[in-house]
Copies of this chain bind each other. A is one copy, B any other.
Amino acid sequence: MQIYIEKFQLRDVMHEPLLNHLRVVTYQKGDIIIQQGEQPAFLYFLVEGRTKVFASSDEGKKLILAFNGPFSVFGDIEFIQQAPYLNTVEAITDVTLLKLSLPIVQQYGMQHLPFVTFILNTLTRKFYSNADAARFNLMYAVEVRLASYLLSMTTEDESVSIHHLRDAADLIGTSYRHLNRIIGQLTDAGYIARKNRAIHILNRDELYKLAKQNIYEER
């Protein structure tokens, strides 16, 4: 616990009462940390591992909104707004989080300017990148979104494991079938190649042009 407080400099934004109520909690790969629609109970801080955030519609359509690593905050909007969780948060690796129960946050955190300012900054960053992502999804075709996705998932010379391809389909908001079709097109164009259940990027520059400089950012 102390180590996380040091590592993420939580003393800068929380005072004693809050720090004292922080609890460590762990989840295993695949566990649901926050379930869309439920009443919020805690504020979470991701300190170890990776998560994905997605929303489901009644019809079962999924839409992935973000991948997260440390240090990320969950449940802030819902806490402030006093409304049910908007999205589901799932562990994609084993994860460690710190949590604060909401009455505690209300009682101690909201009186403490550094903490409120911290939440404000967190929220704003989320807002900004969310707005970007939503706009991007709405305005561009799957081809552009895929290019963008591939770029943001890989660094120079890396490849995307096929295992994440269904996730990729959800993330960019299309069907698996159609994703395959577009992969085919990009392959024909010589930008990428399928090999050993993975996608290799052959021509990063062209992909970048296609993606119109827009890329999904990890938050």
Cβ–Cβ contact A55 & B128, under 8 A: no
Question: Which of B110, B124, B139 is in CB contact (< 8 Å) with A123?
Answer: B124
- Check A126–B127 contact: CB distance below 8 A: yes
Q: Name which residue of chain B comes closest to A120, CB basis.
A: B120
Number of A residues, CB within 8 Å of B: 37
Query: In whole Å, how far is A112's beta carbon from the nearest beta carbon of chain B?
Result: 8
Among candidates B77, B80, B83, B135, residue contacting A63 with C-beta atoms closer than 8 Å? B135
CB neighbours of A58 from chain B (8 A): 212
Q: Does B134 lie within 8 Å of A81, measured CB to CB?
A: no
Chain B residues near A80 (CB, 8 Å)? Answer: 120-121, 124
Q: Which residues of B contact A132 (CB under 8 A)?
A: 86
- Contact at A124–B57, with CB atoms within 8 Å? no
Which residues of B sit under 8 angstroms from A139, Cβ to Cβ? 57, 59, 61, 63
The answer to the question of A181 belonging to the interface, with a C-beta cut-off of 8 Å to chain B, is no
Query: What B residues does A153 contact at CB under 8 A?
Result: none
- A76 to chain B: closest residue by CB: B124
Interface: A219 (CB within 8 A):
no
Q: How far is the CA of A123 from the CA of B113 in the complex (A)?
A: 17
Which residues of A119-171 have CB atoms within 8 Å of chain B's CB atoms? 119-121, 123-128, 130-132, 134-135, 137-140
Which one of A63, A80, A86, A124 has the highest number of Cβ atoms from chain B below 10 Å of its Cβ?
A: A124
| A203: interface (CB < 8 Å) | no
Is A40 positioned at the interface, with any CB of B under 8 Å from its CB?
A: no
Q: Known contacts being A61-B139, A63-B139, is A116 close to B120, with CB within 8 Å?
A: yes
Tell me if A81 and B126 are in contact (CB < 8 A).
no
A49 at interface by CB-CB < 8 Å: no
A39→B203 CA distance, assembly (Å):
34
Residue among A61, A110, A135, A173 with most chain B CB within 10 A:
A135
A130 touches B128 (CB 8 A): no
Encoded as 1 (CB less than 8 Å from any B CB) or 0, chain A from 49 to 75 comes to 000000101110101000000000000
Is residue A2 within 8 Å, beta carbon to beta carbon, of the partner chain?
no
Q: List 26 A-B contacts (CB under 8 A).
A: A55-B135, A57-B135, A57-B140, A63-B135, A63-B138, A76-B124, A77-B128, A77-B131, A80-B120, A80-B121, A81-B124, A81-B128, A86-B131, A111-B113, A113-B113, A116-B116, A116-B117, A119-B120, A123-B123, A123-B124, A123-B127, A130-B130, A130-B134, A134-B134, A134-B137, A134-B138
